[in-house]
Amino acid sequence: MKDQQENKLLMNEFGYLIDKIRSASFIEEPFHFLVIENFLNQDHFGQVVSADEVTRPEFSTTEKMIRDLKETGYEVQLFPGCTTSIKEYLKCYNSKKWPVDKGILEGFGLTFRLKTYKTPLLSRLVLFLNTPQFKAALEEKFGITSPNYVETAIQKYLHGYEISPHPDIRKKALTYMLNINSTAESEQTAIHTHLLRFKNERRYIYEFWKYNQDIERCWVPWDWCESVRETNLNNSITIFSPSNDTLHAVKLKYDHLKFQRTQVYGNLWYDTSVAEYDMEYRHIDLLGRKTNLRRRMIKSIPEPVKKVLKKYPSLTRVFSQWCETSFTTLKC
- Its pTM stands at 0.85
Reported as a single tens digit per residue, the pLDDT across 193-244 is 999 999 999 999 999 999 999 999 999 999 999 999 999 999 999 999 999 9
**CATH no. of 2-270:** 2.60.120.620
- The mean pLDDT of 282-307, rounded to a whole number, is 67
What per-residue confidence (pLDDT) applies to 149?
Answer: 97
What per-residue confidence (pLDDT) applies to 2?
Answer: 65
CA–CA gap between residue 201 and residue 153 (Å, rounded): 38
Least confident of 96-105, 262-271, 301-310: 301-310
Q: Where are the alpha helices (DSSP H) in the chain?
A: 2-23, 42-50, 62-72, 86-95, 120-129, 132-142, 204-211, 293-299, 303-311, 313-329
What per-residue confidence (pLDDT) applies to 326?
Answer: 54
What per-residue confidence (pLDDT) applies to 235?
Answer: 98
Count CA within 13 A, CB hemisphere, residue 45: 19
The residue count of the chain comes to 332
What per-residue confidence (pLDDT) applies to 330?
Answer: 47
- The mean pLDDT of 288-292, rounded to a whole number, is 56
Reported as a single tens digit per residue, the pLDDT across 114-170 is 999 999 999 999 999 999 999 999 999 999 999 999 999 999 999 999 999 999 999
CA–CA gap between residue 57 and residue 37 (Å, rounded): 27
pLDDT at 12 over 60: yes
Q: 288: pLDDT confidence band, cut at 50, 70 and 90?
A: confident
Task: State the Rg of the chain over Cα.
Answer: 23
- The full set of domain ranges for the chain reads 2-270, 286-329
What is the pLDDT of the chain when averaged over all its residues?
A: 89
What are phi and psi for residue 262, nearest 5 degrees? Answer: -130, 135
Instruction: Name the residue with higher pLDDT: 314 or 130.
Output: 130
